[in-house]
Structure 1
Amino acid sequence: MNDPCQDCIKWQHYFKKPFANRALFEYNDAMRAYMKQYKFLGDYRLRNVFNRLIVSELKAMRCPIVVIPVNESTLQERGFNQVLGLCEGIQPVNCLRTRQGKKESRQSEKNRSQRLNADQPFELIDHESELIRQKTIVVVDDVYTTGTTIRHAAGLLYRAGARCVKGFTLAR
């Protein structure tokens, strides 16, 4: 196992459960341009750029996969969940959904402080929790920025009985 990064060390004070994230790539200018075209401009064909690699990595983990959900208004606007697109070919456990209520601004529009102080955006779909109890779960997201989103999901999964939760992202 690799030594934790500085971000993970900082998080240990706030997030008491074991958690580590593995990112495949650095979030650099090229990845920023890719995400803009894929996620924000809606070029769904771009999911194929990383799909085979992501699916191969996730299958090798041999764990239930939970994909970070998008809220209903984002799904309507964009037409797809970008993380599900990247994971096409994997059957995720559908145990999280975004909380109903007022639409918050997009994560990409928030600064670091706003992201770190964000309220829990997810809720557990109770009838699916049996699929995660006492298992190691991998939570998948597209980009790890502050770690807040993926840890919100991990916290719920731990509360639902997951033995261990790990993060997996395309970029960080």
Structure 2
Amino acid sequence: MNWFAFEHCLFCHGELKTAASWRSVFLKTEREYICGGCKNRLEPLKGDTCRICSKVLEAEFRKGNLCYDCIRWEENPHWSGLLTQNISLYHYNDFLKEIIARFKYRGDYVLARGFKPDIASAVKSMLFDCLVPIPLSPERQYERGFNQTEALILESGLQPTPLLSRIHTEKQSKKSRTDRIHLSQVFQMIPEKIPDINGKTILLFDDIYTTGSTLRHAAKILKENGAGSIYSLTLAR
């Protein structure tokens, strides 16, 4: 027996018609939160990508399996080897940019749920000891009302492990690429968490990978306090 349940897409608010059956009820199949049209506008990262940052490689901006950005990071002894690998789920196209802006800056918290299947699937395939959200400063979190990275983790049915706090600075979106790369350290360990990470594999989580500076600064402070390997997962690249 089949019937249809009508709800609305979290992204476009269009009618979301989902097929249901006794089988789906008993097996608790994953419900849908976004429509097929919006799913198709999310562009998964495919093809030949950088071994470290997941950037889609172009012939003129690569050396072997690394992009030029990661080569520059790895050639700097201050940053080399800090980030083992970043996995990004989607291209940061105009559609995703608008969805993230609504979620992150306009307080539309429920949009986080639309990414649940893909985030949960990606995390399930990765081995780690702690899933650590990139934190906001207290001032920025008060301004927004929530930390978008924690929201994405929680709405995906996962449990974050907050290990880091953040010093308040100018918004990242207002900084140039050069300024982002040359940031001073903006993270601190939450003191009571330091003994828990010796030799552990950490999976950092953030919404967007831009230059890789934020993730590497976070990885650096974690490594300095005993962490083993550092990986990261981001929504967009």
Is TM (by shorter chain) over 0.5?
A: yes
Report which of the two structures shows the higher radius of gyration computed on alpha carbons: 2
Which has a greater percent of helix? 1
SS of residue matched to 2:132: strand
Residue number in structure 1 paired with 2:162: 94
Q: In 2 relative to 1, CA 84–112 (structure 1 residues): closer, same or farther, beyond 3 Å?
A: same
Alignment of 1:127-142 (within 5 A): 127-142=192-207
Runs ≥4 residues deviating over 4 A: none
Q: In 2 relative to 1, CA 145–79 (structure 1 residues): closer, same or farther, beyond 3 Å?
A: same
Q: Which runs of 5+ in 2 are unaligned?
A: 1-49, 52-64
Query: How far is 1:18 from its partner?
Result: 4.3
- The number of residue pairs the alignment matches comes to 169
The alignment yields a C-alpha RMSD, in angstroms, of 1.6
Residue number in structure 1 paired with 2:142: 76
AA at the equivalent of 1:118:
L
What are the Cα deviations for residues 30-52 of structure 1, in whole angstroms up to 9, with x where unaligned?
11111111111111111011123
Q: Distance in 1 between matches of 2:169 and 2:189?
A: 19
Residue number in structure 2 paired with 1:23: 88
1:158 aligns with 2:223: yes
SS of residue matched to 2:235: strand
Q: Distance in 2 between matches of 1:4 and 1:92?
A: 30
Residue identity over aligned pairs, in percent, reads 38
Residue number in structure 2 paired with 1:51: 116
1:170 aligns with 2:232: no
Q: Which runs of 5+ in 1 are unaligned?
A: none
Q: Distance in 2 between matches of 1:5 and 1:73?
A: 35
SS of residue matched to 1:86: helix
Q: In 2 relative to 1, CA 93–60 (structure 1 residues): closer, same or farther, beyond 3 Å?
A: same
